[in-house]
Amino acid sequence: MRFWNPEASSQKRPGRAALTGVLAAVIAAAWPGAVHGSDAQNPARRTELVKLVERLAPSVVNITTFTPRKEGGAYVDRGTGAIIHRAGYILTNSHVAKWPVKNLVTLRDKSQHSYRLVAAMPSADLALIKIDTKAALVPVKIGRSNDLMIGEPVLVIGNPRGHAHSVTRGIVSAVGRRSPSPQWAIDDMIQTDAPLNPGNSGGPLFNAVGEQIGVVAQRREDSQGIGYAIPIDLVRRTFPAMLAPEMRFGFFLGAEVDAMGSEATVTKVLAASPAEKAGIRQGDVIRRVGKMPVGDGFQFYLSLIDRLPGRALSIEFKRGAKVVTVSPKLARYPTVKAAGGKDLKPGIHYEGFLGNWEKLPNLGKLTPAERGLAKSLSRSVLKDRGEWFALRFTGYLKVPADGAYTFFLQSDDGSRLHIGRTLVVDNSSTEGLAMASGMIRLEAGHHPLTVSYLQRDGHAALLVSYEGPKILKQEIPAEALFHRLSKQAGKARKPKGRNETE
């Protein structure tokens, strides 16, 4: 092979085309098969990993939120999400899907859309958002995380530091890890060494065949190569309760579907429900709801979003080899009636109990050491106690409109919230700061409220928040709390009970 020598004046200097050919020849000699590498279709370049990324990338979105700052401008936060239905439903973290003034979802084709928050479960750091597009989107395939192998390869596509659709890979380093964040008490996280950065949160963790096996949540700030993802089986278990479509949108169908399986198999039909009256039975496989195809339990619950009571809903299901279509008329979901009166006063009663309980006791069976009236649901009402006590607040909560209300309890070392006799939130974790939430449909007006709280030794925290019609998520304000005058007041003896629990 002859090369051009710049020091040989007798040689004619080759043109650019000739140089390109020479360079290609050199590369070919050093790396067989690379000459034609300029062709992106070259099998030597189009590895299985490249093909997998090309297939998965359209199912991943980049999320940007803009939150106004008091001094002007806005805080810009970034995250990632995975499309789980072609109609535009996206799974992400609750800490990514905030309630900003402005938000943008950017698709692989660089088109941008605003999203609306459909549902969130902060205790599991999960949220569902929705964008509206004219074209059908490409959803991910939801996998399982019950059979993960330590060392198996994983892939992450996300939006780290705003670098849209960046790809990193690694392995499953461990399973069953506890979340290092005090905000989420998740005990079975997937640990991975795939590089993660701020902006990857909410994105999908894929296995080698392109199934989503987790939701990227966080990384250890004090380490390298230690990241965490919420296992997809936890998402499957959580999804029906997080979305709670019947309670959220006020209709009643009365059929439950397996969220863990590969098909939308009916697991339960409530007696005298519209589903039962229409002939739907346990074991039927739902294939279509309205105009929406249903392939698994995820899609079944998605298909119930925005349905209204009083309307017929077409449902196609398979029973054995037979395909059946029915149209049950959706009933109205029951709403808890208001139970307050005109004699209510601002403020809420509290009772303080002393004892070294291991978990939150049944405070209704114990004698309080202190009683009083509080303006808010704050643990600071017992000013002289720092450890080993319990609190119970009792009174009324005023809500402004009929509809579904979500309540949030963040506490250390355990708390519960009742509306009337209904346990709405059970945050029974005693392993540090944790959050839990629950939903209930309430009629406008006053409702009996009970909040119980345990403080052992160490850190202390209690935050009671809610959201609902006309209410953005916020701590329950003093103006929403009321009480009736009680004949009981003053001090009471220290309780003898110790291990009795609710």
* 491 lies in some domain: no
Residues 211 and 270 in one domain: no
Which one of the listed residues 95, 349, 418, 446 is annotated catalytic?
95
Residues 82 and 24 in one domain: no
Beta carbons of 383 and 451 less than 8 angstroms apart = no
Beta carbons of 125 and 27 less than 8 angstroms apart = no
14-28, 171-185, 435-449: segment of lowest average pLDDT: 14-28
Average pLDDT of the chain, as a whole number:
86
pLDDT band per the 50, 70, 90 thresholds, residue 487: low
* 145 lies in some domain: yes
Which one of the listed residues 77, 125, 233, 258 is annotated catalytic?
125
The pTM is what? 0.76
* 173 lies in some domain: yes
Instruction: Say whether pLDDT at 29 is over 60.
Output: no
Instruction: Say whether pLDDT at 501 is over 80.
Output: no
Distant-in-sequence, close-in-space partners of 110: CB < 8 Å, separation ≥ 6:
none
Residues 103 and 225 in one domain: yes
For the chain, report the end-to-end CA distance as a whole number of angstroms: 87
Residues 51 and 178 in one domain: yes
pLDDT of residue 434: 76
Looking at 243, 272, 306, which one is the last position of a domain? Answer: 243
Hey, what amino acid is at 316?
E
Instruction: Choose among 122, 97, 232: nearest CA to 181.
Output: 122
Instruction: Choose among 152, 145, 158, 189: nearest CA to 171.
Output: 152
Angle at 242 between CA 239 and CA 246, to 5 degrees: 100
Beta carbons of 34 and 27 less than 8 angstroms apart = yes
* 78 lies in some domain: yes
Q: What is the CA radius of gyration of the chain?
A: 28
Bridge partners (DSSP) listed for residue 441: 404
Residues 425 and 469 in one domain: yes
Looking at 203, 220, 243, which one is the last position of a domain? Answer: 243
By percentage, how much of the chain surpasses pLDDT 70?
87
CATH number at residue 161: 2.40.10.120
Laid out side by side, the sheet with 60-68 consists of 112-113, 102-106, 60-68, 74-85, 89-92, 126-130, 116-121
Residues 206 and 239 in one domain: yes
* 127 lies in some domain: yes
Beta carbons of 80 and 203 less than 8 angstroms apart = yes
Residues 81 and 226 in one domain: yes
Whole-angstrom distance, CA of residue 79 vs CA of residue 200: 6
Whole-angstrom distance, CA of residue 317 vs CA of residue 289: 9
How far CA 89 is from CA of 136, 192, 263, 377, in Å, comes to 11, 26, 19, 36
CA 417 to chain centre: 21
Q: How many domains does the chain have?
A: 4
pLDDT of residue 184: 64
pLDDT band per the 50, 70, 90 thresholds, residue 186: confident
pLDDT of residue 7: 35
118-127, 230-239, 371-380, 394-403: segment of lowest average pLDDT: 118-127
User: Which one-letter DSSP state was computed for residue 376?
Assistant: S
User: Which one-letter DSSP state was computed for residue 93?
Assistant: -
pLDDT of residue 23: 38
Helix (H, G, I), strand (E, B) or coil at 413: coil
Residues 177 and 314 in one domain: no
> Could you count the other beta carbons within 10 Å of the beta carbon of residue 487?
4
**Entry field: residues in the chain:** 502
- Mean pLDDT of the 425-453 span: 87
pLDDT band per the 50, 70, 90 thresholds, residue 31: very low
* 490 lies in some domain: no
Residues 118 and 198 in one domain: yes
Instruction: Say whether pLDDT at 217 is over 80.
Output: yes
- The answer to whether 187 is a known catalytic residue is no
5-14, 115-124, 418-427: segment of lowest average pLDDT: 5-14
Instruction: Say whether pLDDT at 381 is over 90.
Output: no
> Could you count the other beta carbons within 10 Å of the beta carbon of residue 135?
10
Instruction: Say whether pLDDT at 476 is over 60.
Output: yes
pLDDT of residue 411: 86
Query: Which residues form the domain of 134?
Result: 47-243
Residues 204 and 61 in one domain: yes
- The answer to whether 95 is a known catalytic residue is yes
> Could you count the other beta carbons within 10 Å of the beta carbon of residue 267?
15
CATH number at residue 261: 2.30.42.10
Which one of the listed residues 201, 415, 452, 465 is annotated catalytic?
201
pLDDT band per the 50, 70, 90 thresholds, residue 27: very low
Beta carbons of 198 and 221 less than 8 angstroms apart = no
Strand runs labelled E in 363-431: 370-374, 389-399, 403-412, 415-419, 422-427
17-26, 200-209, 274-283, 308-317: segment of lowest average pLDDT: 17-26
* 338 lies in some domain: no
Residues 65 and 88 in one domain: yes
What are the residue ranges of helices labelled H in 244-386?
245-249, 274-277, 297-303
> Positive or negative CA dihedral for 4, 6, 12, 16?
positive
Beta carbons of 217 and 254 less than 8 angstroms apart = no
Taking every pair of Cα atoms in the chain, the longest distance, rounded to a whole number of angstroms, is 114
pLDDT of residue 101: 64
* 271 lies in some domain: yes
Angle at 238 between CA 138 and CA 313, to 5 degrees: 65
Structure tokens at 355: 């004892």
Residues 17 and 54 in one domain: no
- The answer to whether 223 is a known catalytic residue is no
CATH number at residue 418: 2.60.120.1560
Looking at 11, 26, 46, which one is the last position of a domain? Answer: 46
CA 39 to chain centre: 42
Q: Summarize pLDDT for 330-358 with one digit per residue, the tens.
A: 999 999 999 877 789 999 999 999 988 88
Phi and psi, residue 131, nearest 5°:
-120, 155
Distant-in-sequence, close-in-space partners of 275: CB < 8 Å, separation ≥ 6:
253, 254, 255, 269, 328
Please name the residue that has the structure tokens 């006799």.
421
